[in-house]
Amino acid sequence: MSDSGNERKISRRKLLLGGAATAAVVLVKSSFGKIVQTSLPESSGVTADPTKILGAFPAEIGTRSSFEKLVKKPSFTSSRTPLQALYGTITPSDLHFERHHAGVPLIEPDGYELLIHGLVDKPMVFSLADLKRFPSVTRIAFLECSGNFRTGKMEMSPQDICGLTSQSEWTGVMLSTLLREVGVRSGAGWLLAEGSDAAVMTRSIPLRKALDDAMIVYAQNGEAIRPEQGYPARLFLPGWEGNTSIKWIRRIEVGDQAYMTREETSKYTEEVKGGKIRQFSFDMDARSIITYPAYPERVERGWIEIRGIAWSGRGKIVQVDVSTDAGKNWYTASLPGLILDKAHTQFKYLWYWDGGETEILSRATDETGYVQPTMQQLIAARGESMGGYHLNPVTAWYVQRDGQVFHRPER
Amino acid sequence: MSDSGNERKISRRKLLLGGAATAAVVLVKSSFGKIVQTSLPESSGVTADPTKILGAFPAEIGTRSSFEKLVKKPSFTSSRTPLQALYGTITPSDLHFERHHAGVPLIEPDGYELLIHGLVDKPMVFSLADLKRFPSVTRIAFLECSGNFRTGKMEMSPQDICGLTSQSEWTGVMLSTLLREVGVRSGAGWLLAEGSDAAVMTRSIPLRKALDDAMIVYAQNGEAIRPEQGYPARLFLPGWEGNTSIKWIRRIEVGDQAYMTREETSKYTEEVKGGKIRQFSFDMDARSIITYPAYPERVERGWIEIRGIAWSGRGKIVQVDVSTDAGKNWYTASLPGLILDKAHTQFKYLWYWDGGETEILSRATDETGYVQPTMQQLIAARGESMGGYHLNPVTAWYVQRDGQVFHRPER
Interface predicted TM-score of the whole assembly (ipTM), two decimals = 0.89
Strand partners, A358: A399
Helices (H), A174-270: 175-182, 207-212, 262-265
**CB-nearest partner of B108 from A20, A60, A67:** A67
Strand partners, B363: B321
- In this complex, do A227 and B8 lie within 8 Å of one another by their Cβ atoms? no
Residue of A46, A51, A72 to mutate, interface with B, max B Cβ within 10 Å: A51
> Which amino acid is residue B179, in one-letter code?
L
Distance of CA A387 to the CA centre of its chain: 22
Q: How far is B335 from chain A (nearest CA, A)?
A: 11
Give the integer Cα–Cα distance in Å for B95 and B91.
Answer: 6
- In this complex, do A197 and B122 lie within 8 Å of one another by their Cβ atoms? no
DSSP E strands, B248-385: 249-255, 270-272, 276-278, 287-292, 302-311, 317-323, 331-332, 345-353, 358-366
What would the pLDDT profile of A299-343 be if each residue is shown by its tens digit?
A: 999 999 999 999 999 999 999 999 999 999 999 999 999 999 999
Confidence band, pLDDT 50/70/90 cuts, at residue A411: low
- CA-nearest of A291, A223, A215, A231 to A98 is A231
pLDDT cut 70: percent of chain A above it: 88
Give the integer Cα–Cα distance in Å for A144 and A134.
Answer: 27
Mean pLDDT over each residue of chain B, to the nearest integer: 89
Q: How far is B236 from chain A (nearest CA, A)?
A: 16
What would the pLDDT profile of B114-141 be if each residue is shown by its tens digit?
A: 999 999 999 999 999 999 999 999 999 9
**CB-nearest partner of B51 from A13, A136, A200:** A200
Residue of B332 and B53 predicted with greater confidence: B332
Give the integer Cα–Cα distance in Å for A129 and A120.
Answer: 22
- CA-nearest of B203, B173, B164 to B311 is B164
* A chain contacts of residue B185, beta-carbon cutoff 8 Å: none
Classify the C-alpha dihedral B324-B326-B331-B332 as positive or negative. positive
Residue B24: pLDDT over 50? no
- CA-nearest of B251, B16, B224, B282 to A114 is B16
Strand partners, A252: A116, A193
Phi, psi (degrees; rounded to nearest 5) at A163? -80, 5
Q: How far is A240 from chain B (nearest CA, A)?
A: 22
In this structure, chain B runs to a length of 411
What would the pLDDT profile of B264-304 be if each residue is shown by its tens digit?
A: 998 888 888 888 888 999 999 999 999 999 999 999 999 99
Nearest CA in chain A to B222: A87
Residue of B23 and B188 predicted with greater confidence: B188
Q: How far is A21 from chain B (nearest CA, A)?
A: 6
Residue A360: strand, helix, or coil:
strand
- CA-nearest of B122, B154, B50 to B395 is B154
3-state helix, strand, coil in chain A (%, to 5): 15, 30, 50
Give the integer Cα–Cα distance in Å for A140 and B169.
Answer: 12
Q: Which helix (H) or strand (E) holds A124?
A: strand A124-127
The CA-based angle B361-B363-B402, given to 5 degrees, is: 10
Give the integer Cα–Cα distance in Å for B335 and B367.
Answer: 14
Confidence band, pLDDT 50/70/90 cuts, at residue A7: very low
* B chain contacts of residue A129, beta-carbon cutoff 8 Å: 3, 8-12
Q: How far is A302 from chain B (nearest CA, A)?
A: 11
Residue of B164, B223, B305 to mutate, interface with A, max A Cβ within 10 Å: B223
- In this complex, do A198 and B98 lie within 8 Å of one another by their Cβ atoms? no
Which residues are CB-neighbours of B41 under 8 A, at least 6 positions away?
A: none
